[in-house]
Each structure stands twice: as C-alpha cells, then as structure tokens.
A and B are shown apart, each in its own frame.
Chain A
Amino acid sequence: MPVWQSIYDELKSDSFEIISVAQDAGGEEAAGAIFDDANVSYTSIIDVNHHISSLYNLLNVPSGVWIDEAGKIARINEGTYAKTHFNGAWGTDDYVPIVRDWVANGADSPYVWDSEKVRENIFQRTPEAEMAQPAFRLGTFYFTRDNDEKAERYWSLAQELDPDSWNYLRQDLQYEDGGSAGPEWSERRERIEGAGGTYYAPLEI
C-alpha cells in the first residue's frame, strides 16, 4: 500500500488515476487503518460485497486491471504487486515498470493487450458460479448484522457455487480459527497447485 502511494505520487496526472478497492466484508474496521497508515491519496473504496471481483471475474487479491481513456480494458486478471516482499517470499518487481510504460506510452506500450487477448484473459464463470455473488451478498448482509450462523451458511454456499474464487474462501476463513492463511488455506492451495492450477492469476510480462 505505501509502495502504490509512492508510485501514485510519481505517476499521477490529469490522465492517470489509481482506484484501489479493498475486498473486505469487515468494512472500515478491517481495511480502513491500512489505507490510513499508507496516507493514501488515490481513490479508495472498501467494497464489502466484493462487487468489483465479481463484476470483473477476478479470483483472488491482489489483482489488477488496466482501463484506457475510452473505458476499454488493456490488461486484466493478473496477480499484481507493487514490489517483492520478505526477500522474494511473494510479490514481484516486474509489474510497476510496465505500469510506468503504459502511463507514458498509452496504446503504443508493448504491454497493452489487443482486444482478443483481453477477451481470452477474462475468466469465464459457469452459470452456477454466477449464483455465488448473490449468495455472498446475502452472507455479508447477515455478517454486518451479527447473525453469524446465517453469514456462515451463505458464505459457505458461495464457496460451493464458485470453488474457483479464493476471495470467498479467504474472506470466510478470516473470521475462523486458523485465519485466512491457515491450515485450510494451505491445504487447498497445495491441492490446486499440485494439480497444475494457479493461486495467483499469472503475470505475463
């Protein structure tokens, strides 16, 4: 977060904006301090219903989408980081340079995808997985009203309907023993990666 702020300080202009959207059912209480500690000045949203992930078919956080001046997508569905963290334990130093190139060169940047590649990179959900968003929304409605039993019921249902979404699983695990990166998460990550799947949507640079 502080790194994105420094990149924003460098690149912000009348023709570039960062919209940062926290996918946090816990609202201000969960995500507010993280924005505040970084003294964020770009557009900051706390999206309790994970609406953006659902709308853009993003499966995990952090994810990035490039949107050009005409509202067309130039890159989508990539696991994005501002830098590497903890000596390379996660993250990447490769993403920020291509953002810089795009901001400077626009459509001429070699990192801008054509519409066909954009279409190919939009994740496709099944009709059953489309049911997960209203289920998750219902769960969050109950969560914010302290009805934990029903919150759990509908958040679990969302995970069953859309098993590709890491968001729905990890949001739920945040409020359970073990947490969002505990044994249940590791077990599932190992299983999916063992089968050749990916945890973060791949970054192609």
Chain B
Amino acid sequence: MNSSKKIGLVFGALCFSSVVSGQSAVVLYNERVVEVDQTLPDARDLWVKPEDLTRINDFVLKPEGACLEELCIPVLQDRDSDMFVTRSNQGWFNVTGLADKLQQAHMADYNDGIWSFGTMPLERQSFFSAGEAPEFELPDRDGNIVRLSDFRGKKVLLLTWASW
C-alpha cells in the first residue's frame, strides 16, 4: 500500500514537470475505452472539453450543471472553479472532480495518460438499501449487448466462474 501510494505521488510529480499542452488521454469507464484528443494539462485532475465528458460518462453539461438524466450537479460556468475553467474561449470540465463529488473511485497512470473509473455509488444505492440487482451492460460472446433489465419478468440465475 505505502509503496503504491509513493509510486502514485512520483508519477504525479513527473507528470507535472513534463506536461505538454493538449496532451491526449484514454479513459476507461465501465466497458468503454474513450480516446480523448486533448486535455488541459494538470498534475492531478482530468480536464476535458464538455463534448468529451459526454463521451466518457454520458453526463451533459447544461446551464444548470453536469446532468445525467434527472441528476444534476451544479457547475458554475461564468467563472473559473474547481469543476470548470475557460481557457482561450474553450471550456474545460474536471471529470475527476465530478467523480470525487459522486464519491466514485478512480485511478490514473499519469505518465501514459490512462484514467480508470469505478462504479458510481449512486448506481448501487438501491442494491445496498433494498437488495435491487445493479444494472449491467456487457457484450455476450457474439458481441450482442446484454443488459440485466432485458430479463425483467424472468428469474435470472447469475453465475460467475473463471478458467483460472
């Protein structure tokens, strides 16, 4: 644990000293692998253009904030904040800042610009409080998307196994 934390800090420091303007990033979000052409250089946080935010996690930046269906996290956009800044007329949104507000786990390899996000706790509130099965969306072996909700009205026996 300690050694890993140190590695993280060293990566952060290296990144800070070697950032180039407009660095690209790869974002791992559920099954998505989203390539982002340009990010705002920053030692700790992932700042992307609003359209890339939506490609990453489906949140849409609206005047009232960053919104996913009924959920809206207020974001000021007429001045710089820890969530949104404007540079040369381009707005940049802090994706890791949003994750922190939602208490969503995330981790990055700063050197390579690879950012990885865990599940939003909001998606599992009713799992812990009422035993509702969390929704998932994964490709089957033929590449068809399987959603748990496709099986509503049926009993489902969900089994995990592995070759190892």
Contact B151 A17 (CB under 8 A): yes
Of A85-93, A168-176, A191-199, the segment with at least 4 beta carbons within 8 Å of chain B is A168-176
Determine the chain B residues whose CB is within 8 A of the CB of A26 once the complex forms.
Answer: 163
Contact B159 A64 (CB under 8 A): yes
Contact B162 A67 (CB under 8 A): no
Contact B140 A44 (CB under 8 A): yes
Q: Pick from B105, B131, B138, B157: contact of A133, CB below 8 A.
A: B105
Contact A44 B141 (CB under 8 A): yes
A203 at the interface (CB under 8 A from B): no
Determine the chain A residues whose CB is within 8 A of the CB of B66 once the complex forms.
Answer: none
Distance in angstroms between the alpha carbons of A28 and B112 in the assembled complex: 27
Q: Mark A110-143, 1 if CB is under 8 A from B, else 0.
A: 0000010011001000010011011101100100
For residue A36, give the distance in angstroms from its CB to the closest CB of chain B: 9
Q: Mark A144-183, 1 if CB is under 8 A from B, else 0.
A: 0000001001101100110000010011011000011000
- Report the interface size class on chain A: 35 or more
For residue B2, give the distance in angstroms from its CB to the closest CB of chain A: 9
Contact A17 B156 (CB under 8 A): yes
Contact A20 B159 (CB under 8 A): yes
Q: Pick from B33, B112, B129, B161: contact of A1, CB below 8 A.
A: B161
The chain B residue sitting closest to A169, CB to CB, is: B164
Contact B163 A30 (CB under 8 A): yes
B124 at the interface (CB under 8 A from A): yes
Determine the chain A residues whose CB is within 8 A of the CB of B69 once the complex forms.
Answer: none
Contact B127 A19 (CB under 8 A): no
Contact B118 A134 (CB under 8 A): yes
Determine the chain A residues whose CB is within 8 A of the CB of B114 once the complex forms.
Answer: 138, 141
User: Given A17-B157, A21-B158, 6 more contacts at CB 8 Å?
Assistant: A18-B156, A35-B141, A44-B140, A71-B149, A133-B118, A134-B107
5 examples of A-B residue contacts, CB within 8 angstroms: A16-B157, A18-B156, A19-B157, A52-B158, A134-B116
**Residues of chain B whose beta carbon lies under 8 Å from any beta carbon of chain A:** 1, 4, 7, 26, 28, 30-31, 33, 103, 105-109, 112, 114, 116-119, 124, 127-134, 136, 138-141, 146, 148-149, 151-164
